[in-house]
Structure 1
Amino acid sequence: MILLQAQTAVDSVATSATSAQGISLFDLLLKGGWVMIPLLIMFFLTLFLIFERWLAINSNGKLEESFIDNMKDFVQQGNIKSAESLCRNQRSAAGRIFEKAVGRIGYSIKDIESTIENASHIEISRMESNLAYLGVIAGIAPMLGFVGTISGIINIFYSISLSNDFDISTIASGMYEKMVTSGAGLIVGLVAYMGYHLLNMKIDRIALKLQAGAFDFIDVLQKPITSRS
């Protein structure tokens, strides 16, 4: 009898240990139901947009201090063609903006400032393209996850109403499965929210550098130019 009781206790402990091991991440995601499909799509889309925009902003936002200094030297010497060639070879937002500005030399300062401002708006808009999708995902993903949870709860209580079997273990099991969608939605929304604001901060820093470079360029134009070519 003692041996039988000991064996029963061992089996009980083994069963508890097995159930305490938890569930794999993949199985847990599957238990979230159909809502996990759009959430996974939004998650991978979020990662793609963050990396794509990060690379694009780094590529277009390059602004070397030597470029501004060399361009100012060419302009002050009246070597306009070399200044335009220098801007064209930059292949960046700064290069395209100042290429248009150099091309307006000879017009009024106000006209050149307007050209720089308009070109800057265009380049900043290019850097911000697709960022709006991150904002949309940041807002939709948590709500979609909550919809999945509410849908699961409705199904649980509908099943109880049909079977008249109010078992707390069944409710708890169904609840944790359906709350997976809420957790997943919050994670996707958080990643999209962080990516959106970090990328916008990066664009703001680039815009500030472009503005400082534009001030230096206008300051050079207001000084006497030694010769023109």
Structure 2
Amino acid sequence: MVILDKLSVHLLLLLPQQPDGGGAINALVERFNEGGEFMWPVLICLIIGLAISFERIISLNRADINTQAFLQRVKEALDEGGIPAAEEECASTRGPVASVFQAGLLRADEGIDAVEEAVVSYGSIEMSFLERGLVWLSLFISVAPMLGFLGTVIGMIRAFDSIEQAGDISPRLVAGGIKVALLTTAFGLIVAVILQFFYNYAVSKIDRLVAEMEDASIELVDALVALERGESATAEKSIPESVGEREE
């Protein structure tokens, strides 16, 4: 929130003062028009980047479930109805964890090794689904400032052309040209900061989902091993004593 507040302050500083109360929107449009044609590619980067960000956030939030509660339901289904009941529980639950579980349970009749291979393979596929679109988001984060810098360079060239045609180095002429040229860089950096915030949020969300998926997959394999031995899948695993505790 502090970053967003600072970003809002810097954005407001870019807006010209409106003595007639025209509003921030009109001021922003005025600055945008002053920036020239290179403002449009930067704006396109922002629009597409925000669309990807919102789609990823919605998808990741839908994929996020209470993993421990789901794992407990799967273990109870294994105890009560065996593999078919656990498969039904996975099929009725959304999210990558349930999909990985279902892929492993479908290979349960082939042995634990087959289950582990299926979990690893399908886990990689689910991870690629979670990361879908982030490459493009990262691209727009990099491209937006570059387009801004390019617009600044072109604007500076035009400013010097104006000075050459005028035949006089007027402070007003130089300042006006440089101001317009720097607007594209400012907006490009603002776009990159906004998209970077959403990118980092999505990456942290994916990392947490993948970690939960890996931990839950290990517990699923342990539950299947216990089931093969005739033990309860929901039985608590005893924690081995440390070397120091055994010596005592």
Same fold per TM (> 0.5)?
Answer: yes
Counterpart in the other structure of 1:137:
140
The answer on whether the counterparts of 2:100 and 2:119 sit within 8 Å (CA) in structure 1 is yes
Counterpart in the other structure of 1:74:
77
User: Counterparts of 1:73-92 in structure 2 under 5 Å?
Assistant: 73-77=76-80, 79-92=82-95
- Deviations for 1:88-125, whole angstroms, at most 9, x for unmatched residues? 00022112111111111122322211100111111111
- Deviations for 1:190-212, whole angstroms, at most 9, x for unmatched residues? 12222222211110000011111
The answer on whether the counterparts of 2:67 and 2:97 sit within 8 Å (CA) in structure 1 is no
Matched residues, percent identical?
29
Q: Distance in 2 between matches of 1:225 and 1:153?
A: 78
Instruction: Give the greater-gyration-radius structure (CA).
Output: 1
Deviation at 1:162, TM superposition (A): 1.9
Q: Which amino acid aligns with 1:181?
A: T
State yes or no: 1:225 paired with 2:203. no
Task: Give the aligned CA root-mean-square deviation in angstroms.
Answer: 1.9
Tell me the TM-score normalised to structure 2 length: 0.79
The answer on whether the counterparts of 1:46 and 1:191 sit within 8 Å (CA) in structure 2 is no
SS at match of 1:62: coil
- Deviations for 1:117-160, whole angstroms, at most 9, x for unmatched residues? 11111111111111101110111111110110110110011121
Deviation at 1:181, TM superposition (A): 0.3
Counterpart in the other structure of 2:117:
114
Residue 156 (structure 1) aligned to one of 149, 156, 159? 159
Residue 53 (structure 1) aligned to one of 35, 51, 56? 56
Q: Distance in 1 between matches of 2:134 and 2:17?
A: 42
Q: Distance in 2 between matches of 1:80 and 1:20?
A: 69
Tell me the TM-score normalised to structure 1 length: 0.85
Counterpart in the other structure of 2:101:
98
User: Counterparts of 1:3-82 in structure 2 under 5 Å?
Assistant: 21=18, 24-77=27-80, 79-82=82-85
Higher relative contact order (CA 8 A, sep 6+): 1
How many positions carry a matched residue from both structures? 209
Q: Which runs of 5+ in 1 are unaligned?
A: 1-18
Q: Which of structure 1's runs of 4+ aligned residues deviate more than 6 A? A: none
